[in-house]
């Protein structure tokens, strides 16, 4: 896989990929306690949410595509990582009780933990690596939330659906140990999948819309696929707010 074009060094995507690939977390007990509480909360929401009709219908639809190594909690099912992540995340978000952050107005943990746990089921990893990956993904998602702020939601965008896939891609890229180049491609793939409208919030689509293919973007560059690294700088179809987000992620304390 070729190196990221050196001309991209100043861009938001390049800085963010650097952060995903190389950010270091100090052994901070308070931070780890926060992550532990977020994981317990997410698992609790998943276990309760498995009874909800939207979760049941999601499992029924996904089970038809075959089994895999990743468990769908409290069901006895095991699916391929992307489908297990989606099934668990839909259950976790079904009752809308999962954790929430401002000013991005997103539900970060129910997007990232199901993706991380699904990927971890198919390859050796550690709890410490999952914590670190979660923190990297949370930072990306929260800083983007700061950059677009609540106005993004007020304009009709479902923030968990637009920012969640990007945060999950950052988290899984970190867990997979992707380098700067592959992380940049993973983030670019994820941005192309970021979509969702608040008009869907009263419908059963709400818990499912942020949670499509949350494992997939980092897996594609892991296998050599590439995407455009210029989405954050080349209009039309660019995300200029990334510049603000990545500067904050690089120069201020961790958002978590």
Give pTM, 2 decimals. Answer: 0.86
DSSP string, 4-16: PPGGGTTSHHHHH
Mean pLDDT across 65-75: 96
Token pair in block for residue 61: 């639809």
Query: What is the rounded distance in angstroms from the CA atom of residue 187 to the CA atom of residue 8?
Result: 14
Return d(Cα 171, Cα 226) in angstroms, integer.
18
Query: Is residue 204 within 8 Å of residue 221, measured between CB atoms?
Result: no
- Token readout for 140 is 């990306």
Residue 1 lies in a domain: no
pLDDT at 152: 80
The range of the structural domain enclosing residue 151 comes to 6-251
- Does any domain span residue 95? yes
Distance separating alpha carbons of residues 24 and 76, to the nearest angstrom? 36
DSSP 28-75: -HHHHHHHHHHHHHHHHHHHHHTTSHHHHHHHHHHHTT---SEEETTT
User: Is 256 inside any structural domain?
Assistant: no
Rounded to an integer, what distance in angstroms lies between the CA atom of residue 92 and that of residue 98? 7
Read off the pLDDT band of 246 (50, 70, 90). low
CATH number, domain containing residue 111: 1.10.4100.10
Count of structural domains within the chain? 1
Question: pLDDT tens digits for 178-203?
Answer: 999 999 988 988 888 888 888 877 77
- Of 79-88, 106-115, 171-180, 211-220, the range with the lowest mean pLDDT is 211-220
């Amino acid at each position: 896989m070729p190196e990221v074009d050196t001309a991209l060094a100043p861009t938001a995507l390049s800085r963010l990929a650097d952060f995903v690939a190389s950010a270091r977390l100090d052994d901070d007990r308070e931070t780890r306690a926060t992550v532990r509480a977020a994981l317990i909360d997410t698992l609790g929401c998943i276990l309760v949410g498995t009874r909800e009709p939207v979760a049941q219908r999601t499992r029924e639809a996904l089970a038809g595509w075959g089994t895999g190594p990743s468990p769908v909690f409290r069901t006895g099912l095991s699916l391929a990582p992307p489908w297990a992540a989606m099934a668990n995340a839909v259950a976790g978000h079904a009752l809308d009780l999962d954790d929430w952050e401002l000013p991005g107005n997103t539900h970060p943990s129910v997007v990232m933990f199901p993706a991380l746990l699904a990927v971890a089921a198919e390859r050796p990893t550690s709890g410490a690596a999952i914590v670190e990956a979660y923190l990297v993904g949370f930072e990306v998602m929260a800083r983007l939330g700061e950059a677009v702020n609540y106005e993004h939601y007020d304009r009709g965008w479902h923030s968990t659906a637009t920012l969640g896939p990007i945060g999950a891609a950052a988290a899984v890229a970190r867990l997979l140990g992707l380098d700067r180049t592959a992380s940049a491609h993973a983030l670019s793939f994820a941005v192309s999948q970021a979509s969702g409208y608040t008009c869907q919030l009263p419908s059963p689509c709400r818990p499912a819309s942020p949670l499509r293919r949350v494992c997939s973007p980092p897996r594609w560059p892991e296998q050599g696929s590439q995407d455009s690294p210029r989405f954050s700088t080349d209009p039309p179809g660019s995300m200029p707010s990334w510049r603000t987000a990545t500067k904050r992620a690089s120069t201020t304390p961790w958002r978590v």
